[in-house]
Structure 1
Amino acid sequence: MVWDDALVSSIYKGFRFPREVISHCVWLYHRFTLSLREIELMMAERGIEVTYETIRTWCAKFGPDYARRLRARAPRSGDKWHLDEVFVHIGGVRKYLWRAVDQHGNVLDILIQSRRDGKAATRFFRKILKHQGRRPRVLVTDKLASYRVAHRTVMSATEHRHNKYLNNRCENSHQPTRQREHAMKGFRTVGSAQRFLAAFSRISPHFRPPRHRMTATDHRAERAARFRVWDQVTEQTFTA
């Protein structure tokens, strides 16, 4: 993978506002529990007159692209995967958000589905394997029977540990999503929720290093490094 200087900022062609304004608004929306109108107000305080609908358009267009670039630069995922599902209300209807993280807390994939039966679990397993390109050494889930069905169907050779007390890492990973869902007052459609959460699950954790494991000096250095990566993925396009 190489960076192509000829394509610098080409994704912003045709937009009236510069890259710095666009990427900053997308960062605010995906990192903090701010509404689009609150971001509009924050930008107005800086003398930048942009509507919340324009910010919505930026987040929908550039959020997934930024997330894809961050994913391409991410280190190889761990070999121990934690899977969990939690219900979310979309358009007033209960759906299930499936999530997989590795032993380091890095989000591997998410998928919104209407059910949490064996068919739904199998579909999620196959989606993760397609994106990761390899099977884990250990699979950790709660005692939902659907996971056992998917395990037998898709990755029976992988060790499967199923205990409700072993899966706190994945359950904790749902908390930022819950906070964002509350701030957004829920999601309207499955498609919009899937697109937003796929981007959110990559961008938000990028700016959430494990602070409790670091000294203040190490944390500042790590934070600066992550902002440098953010500048790179929002300024340039790359080719494989």
Structure 2
Amino acid sequence: MKSAAISYKGHRFPQQIIAHAVWLYFRFPLSLRMVEEMLLERGIVVSYETIRRWGRKFGAAYASRLRRKKPSRNDTWHLDEVVISIGGRKHWLWRAVDQDGYVLDEIVQARRDTNAARRLLIRLLKKQGLAPRRIVTDKLRSYGAARRDVMSAVEHRTHKGLNNRAENSHGPLRKRERMMQGFRSPGGLQRFISVFSALRNLFVPPHPKRSALAIHIHRIRAMAHWKTVTGATA
């Protein structure tokens, strides 16, 4: 079923400007005030609070319409968790990426235990629609217990050196965390990463050793798809 077009009714700025502002904020390590300044340089006077509201209103709608990578039974899921401090309390961001570094899912949770690992695996199975050939994790025992409950037939490999794809995937978010001076709430972090990772999946080539021309073509196609999704093709 085809998604309905995104409505910009009631907004005085055209969709091209709104989509561009949201793209700048989620795609690059920029603060809201930096995006405000970049738009001002182009003669567009809009406050950073308005940009914040655009990101909250339209970001999720854009992300939900971006194409997703087709899952395969030959996939390998790399799972990892990273601690993020929110309001002085520890929270854990659980992330799954595939063998190409494509972000499959992320979930913010208050604990680092078997129930949290199980919740991630159940979400992944529901979202992907099928189990992978294997999962790769660090030596956290919660993964093994959760895997036995949820997907006992799937091969499970544990080795710190094997899980670099998942561990490296935390880097871009860490940069944003520093730029934003932290996140205000677990819900705000969950909303942000859902859009942030969807744009990274679209714009970042899956194989970094591609030629410069292949990367250039990939970005052109990604931008064309982004404009189609946001209605900013005019």
State the TM-score bracket (shorter-chain normalisation). over 0.9
Name the CA shift for 1:74/1:90 in 2 (closer, same or farther; >3 Å).
Answer: same
Once the 2 structures are TM-superposed, how far is the Cα of residue 2 of structure 1 from its aligned partner?
Answer: 4.1
Query: Do the aligned partners of 2:39 and 2:46 also contact (CA within 8 Å) in 1?
Result: yes
2:122 match: secondary structure: helix
Match of 1:143 among 123, 139, 143: 139
Deviations 1:130-158 (A, max 9, x none): 11111111111111010011011101110
> For 1:19 and 1:139, how far apart are their aligned partners in 2?
41
Match of 1:107 among 103, 106, 112: 103
Once the 2 structures are TM-superposed, how far is the Cα of residue 75 of structure 1 from its aligned partner?
Answer: 2.6
- TM-score in terms of structure 2 length: 0.94
> For 1:216 and 1:199, how far apart are their aligned partners in 2?
26
Query: Do the aligned partners of 1:100 and 1:108 also contact (CA within 8 Å) in 2?
Result: yes
In the alignment, is residue 59 of structure 1 matched against residue 59 of structure 2? no
Could you say which residue in structure 2 is the equivalent of 1:120?
116
Query: Do the aligned partners of 1:99 and 1:110 also contact (CA within 8 Å) in 2?
Result: yes
Match of 1:217 among 188, 213, 224: 213
Deviations 1:203-222 (A, max 9, x none): 12322214632222222111
Which amino acid in 1 is paired with 2:68?
Answer: A
Which amino acid in 2 is paired with 1:157?
Answer: A
Query: Do the aligned partners of 1:77 and 1:108 also contact (CA within 8 Å) in 2?
Result: no
> For 1:54 and 1:222, how far apart are their aligned partners in 2?
31
Could you say which residue in structure 1 is the equivalent of 2:192?
196
Query: Do the aligned partners of 2:33 and 2:48 also contact (CA within 8 Å) in 1?
Result: yes
Unaligned segments of structure 1, at least 5 residues = none
Number of aligned positions between the proteins: 230
> For 1:217 and 1:203, how far apart are their aligned partners in 2?
21
2:160 match: secondary structure: coil
Pairwise CA RMSD = 1.5
Query: Do the aligned partners of 2:100 and 2:206 also contact (CA within 8 Å) in 1?
Result: no
Could you say which residue in structure 1 is the equivalent of 2:42?
46
- Point out the more displaced range, 217-226 or 151-160: 217-226
Deviations 1:98-118 (A, max 9, x none): 000011111000001111111
> For 2:86 and 2:149, how far apart are their aligned partners in 1?
29
1:230 match: secondary structure: helix
> For 2:92 and 2:35, how far apart are their aligned partners in 1?
29
Query: Do the aligned partners of 2:102 and 2:206 also contact (CA within 8 Å) in 1?
Result: no
1:115 match: secondary structure: coil
Deviations 1:60-114 (A, max 9, x none): 11111111111xx223135210000000111221110000001111100000111
> For 2:133 and 2:167, how far apart are their aligned partners in 1?
20
Could you say which residue in structure 2 is the equivalent of 1:31?
27
Unaligned segments of structure 2, at least 5 residues = none
> For 1:203 and 1:150, how far apart are their aligned partners in 2?
29
Greater RCO structure (CA 8 Å; 6+ sep):
1
